[in-house]
Structure 1
Amino acid sequence: MRSLARWTALVLTAALFLLPFAVLVAKGWPALADVFTYKEIPFARSLLNSTVVAIAQTVGQVVLCSLAGYGLARIPYRHAGKVLYAIVATLMVPTAVTFVPSFVVVSSLGWLSDLRGLVVPGLFSAVNVFFFRQYFLDFPVPLEEAGRLDGLSRWGVYWRVVVPNSTAFLAAIAVIDFIGSWNQFLWPLVIAQDSSTWTVQVALSGLLTAQNPKTTLLFAAATVSILPIILVFTVLQRYLVRGISETGLGGQ
C-alpha cells in the first residue's frame, strides 16, 4: 500500500512538472517553422551564438577553474590559503556592484556587440574554484605519486592522471555551467546591442513586446531553446548523478 501511494505521488508530481512543458509544446508546435523565417528576430543566429557562448564558457570554466583548484589543493605555497580566501571573498560581492565596472571594461576593449564580450567575462568562477579545490583535496595521492614515479611532470600528472579519473565531477560541473551560461539574460541583453550577436534568451524577449506580442512564436521559440539543455542533461546525466554523489554537492 505504501508503495502504491509513493508511486502515485511520484506520478502526480511528475505530471505537475511536465504540464507546463506539454502546454508549451502544444501551443508552439504549429509555429515551429515560422520561428526560423521570422525576419524581425534572427532566431537561428541567436541559437548559434548561445551555443558558441555556452560551450566556450563551459570549457573555459572547467579548464581554468580546475587548474586553479588543483593548484590550490596540491602545489605547496605559503600564501595558498590567502589566495583561496580572496577568491571566496569575491562571492560576497553582489553582482549588481560589479556589473557596471565589467561593462565599462568590456566597452573600453571594444567588445560591445561582440561574442568576446559575452564569453570572456564568464570564463572564471570563484564557486567552481572552491568546488574543484575541495574535490582535489580528497583525490587519491597514491595515484599522483605513481605518475610522478613514471616521470610525469606536475602538468602531466594533472592531465594524464587526475583528469581521466575525475570525469564524473568534471561532467557535473560542465552541466551546471552550460545550463547557467545558456540561460543568461541580463548580461547578453546589455552587451549584445546588435541583433547579430543576440543570444537565444535575448531573442525570446524580442518576441514578447508590449506593442506587438508574438505569443505563438514565443512558445515555439521557447520549445526549441530548451532542446539543447535537455540534450546535454540526457547525455551527461549519469556522470552528473555520480559526480554529485561522489563529491557531496548534494549536501551529504
Structure 2
Amino acid sequence: MTTTAPQLGKTRRKKRGGVLGNTGLYLGAGVAAFLFLVPFYLLVRNALSTDAEITGEHWKFFPTDLQWSNVSDLFDDTSVDFAQSMWNSLVVAVSMTVGILLVCSLAGYALARIPYKHSNKIFYLVLGTLMVPTAVTFVPSFVLVSSLGWVDTYRGLIVPGLFSGFTCFLFRQYFLGFPKELEEAARVDGLGYWGAYWKVVVPNSLNFFAAIATITFISGWNSFLWPLVIGQDPGAWTVQVALSSYMTNQTVVFHQIFMATAISILPLIFVFLFLQRWLVQGIAQTGIKG
C-alpha cells in the first residue's frame, strides 16, 4: 500500500506539531521549575552570607566566602535553643500525624461502615465543626488547657489538635468507596470491624494514609499561633516560634533567620521524599493493591 502525498503532508504536520508541543511543554516546565527554585536559592545564598552581604548594594550570585560558621552560630546562640525547638516541633508534628491518622480514620471508618441509626446525625455534627471559625474556639481551648495545667507541655501542644473534622470527612468519603467485598471476606474469616479495619482496610489504603500524613505533618510543623500561646517558656518553643524570635523591634539577625529557616525545612523535604512513592501511587491508582 502506497502513501499518497496528502497523507505524507499530514504526517509531517503532525510531527512538527508534536515537536512544537513538546518544546512548549518543556519550556513551560523549565520556567515553572526556575520560579519554584528561586526562593530556595535565595534561602541558601543568604544563609551562607554575612549580614553585610545580605543587605549590601552590590548583589553577588554567591558570597565569596561561604559562612559555614553561621550553622555553629545558630546552635551556639544562648538566647534561643534552636535544637530544642526543632525537637519540640518534631515531637508535636509526629504525634499529631499519628494521632490524627488513628482517631480520624477510626471515626471515618465507623461512620462509613458500622450501621447505627444516628450515624448520619453524628456525621452532620462533625461537618458542623467545619463551620465554626478557629478564632471562636481559640480562647475556650486555651482556658481549658490552662485549667488542666498543660501550658508549656507537650500535652497542651498536641492533644487539642488530635481531631480534625475535615480529615474525618475525607476518611469517611474514602471508606465509602472502599470495596465491601474485601471486608466481607475478612468477616468470613472471623474478623470483626476492628480486625477488618486493621488487617484489610489499612494495608490496602496506604496511599491515602500517606497523603493525609504528609498534609498533617506539614501543618503540625508549620503551626505558629497555638504553640506561641501554649509554649510560653523558651524550652517549650517550636521551631516557628523560635524563628520569630530572631526578628524583634530592636534587632534583626538576617543570617540567623535564613540559616534557621533553611535547616527548619529539611524535615519537610525528608518527609516528602520518603512518602513520594506512595503519593505518586495514590495519584496513579485508586488506593487498592493488586
Q: TM-score range by the shorter chain?
A: over 0.9
Query: CA-to-partner distance for each residue in 1:93-142, whole Å, 9 max, x for gaps?
Result: 10100000000000000011111100001111001100000010011111
Aligned 1:227-238 pairs, distance under 5 A: 227-238=266-277
More off after superposition, 182-191 vs 28-37: 28-37
Distance 2:189 2:74 in 1: 56
Q: Higher helix proportion, which one?
A: 1
Higher relative contact order (CA 8 A, sep 6+): 1
Of 70-79 and 12-21, the range deviating more from structure 2: 12-21
Q: 2:213 corresponds to which residue?
A: 174
User: Identity across aligned pairs (percent)?
Assistant: 56
Q: Secondary structure at the match of 1:36?
A: helix
Conserved? CA contact 1:62–1:173, under 8 Å:
yes
Q: Which structure has the bigger radius of gyration?
A: 2
* Count of equivalent residues: 248
- Distance, in Å, in 1 between the alignment partners of 2:190 and 2:41 is 57
Give distance in 1, aligned partners of 2:274 and 2:231. Answer: 30
Residue 166 (structure 2) aligns with: 127
Q: TM-score, normalised by structure 2?
A: 0.83
Gaps in structure 1 of 5+ consecutive residues = none
Which residue is equivalent to 2:263? Answer: 224
Q: Does 1:40 align with 2:59?
A: no
Match of 2:64 in 1: none
Q: Match for residue 62 of structure 1?
A: 101
Contact 1:175 1:233 in 2 (8 A): yes
- 2-structure distance, mates of 1:25, 1:183: 19
Report how far residue 209 of structure 1 moved: 1.1
- For residue 7 of structure 1, give the secondary structure of its aligned residue in structure 2: helix
Which residue of structure 2 aligns with residue 13 of structure 1? 32
- SS in structure 2 opposite 1:48? helix
Q: CA–CA distance in 2 between the matches of 1:247 and 1:124? A: 25
User: Structure 2: how far apart are the matches of 1:79 and 1:155?
Assistant: 20
> What do you get for the CA RMSD once the two structures are aligned?
1.3
Alpha carbons 1:72, 1:133 under 8 Å: kept:
yes
Shift of 1:246: 4.8
Distance 1:240 1:3, change over 3 A: same
Would the aligned equivalents of 1:46 and 1:198 in 2 still touch at CA under 8 Å? Answer: yes
Post-superposition shift, 1:238? 2.3
Measure the CA separation in 2 of the matches of 1:134 and 1:123. 20
- Give the structure-1-normalised TM-score: 0.96
Alpha-carbon distance in structure 1 between the residues aligned to 2:133 and 2:234: 29
